[in-house]
Structure 1
């Protein structure tokens, strides 16, 4: 069941919107994820896990930039989601963001999908 957008927030150059579909929390991230904006995403992901959504699908299709702080937020969310029996799925990464995962090897610890539709179908 898709409950539509259940929350959204902005901080600086980052917007985060959350909606629920079945057992998944879909977190759409738009803009720039860096040390100035990372807390917004951290709080959003931790809130989803606290609300019982262990399967987090992060829609990165509108994410224009991400630094190591953003990567650390996603790695932390992955640990919390896995502790709750779920995981973090990344969808629709732009090449500049995907490159951060490739360089660090983090793409090996996340389930990465070409699109949000593919992530939700998995």
Structure 2
């Protein structure tokens, strides 16, 4: 049985897009909801940076609750991918809507990010 714990949400900005963080062994599973756009990108990056500072082996972003993403949202994810790799962590995106996934396909970032249908698939990947 994997070890699970919840993240203390007090570390997040007041209008955070991050709804929940749970730890499964050394993997952080981050539930994101709302519009990942210019208006939220700085706070979103800061909140993700706080999670990356905990040095997970795997960062799993559950984007099922994301209703919209623009180029600044994508830029935020690219920056977090770079930070994750810098500490030796992998980063996985799961639960994307067709609309959000098409952004990654158009920009060819679907070849850069590890994208899975579910959190379980991401947690099982190496």
TM-score by length of 1: 0.89
- Distance of 1:9 and 1:16 partners within structure 2: 11
Structure-to-structure mapping, 1:52-63, within 5 angstroms:
52-63=55-66
1:65 match: 68
Look up the match of 1:96: 99
5+ residue gaps, structure 2, are none
Q: Do residues 108 (structure 1) and 111 (structure 2) align?
A: yes
CA-to-partner distance for each residue in 1:12-58, whole Å, 9 max, x for gaps? Answer: 8x343222111111111011110001122211211112112242100
Pick the structure with more strand per residue: 1
Report the TM-score, using the length of structure 2 for normalisation. Answer: 0.87
Equivalent residue number for residue 39 of structure 1? 42
4+ residue runs over 3 A deviation = none
Cα deviation code 1:53-107 (max 9, x no counterpart): 2421000111111001010010000011111111210001000110110111111
Unpaired segments of 5 or more residues in structure 1?
A: none
- Equivalent residue, structure 1, for 2:8: 6
CA RMSD between the two structures = 1.7
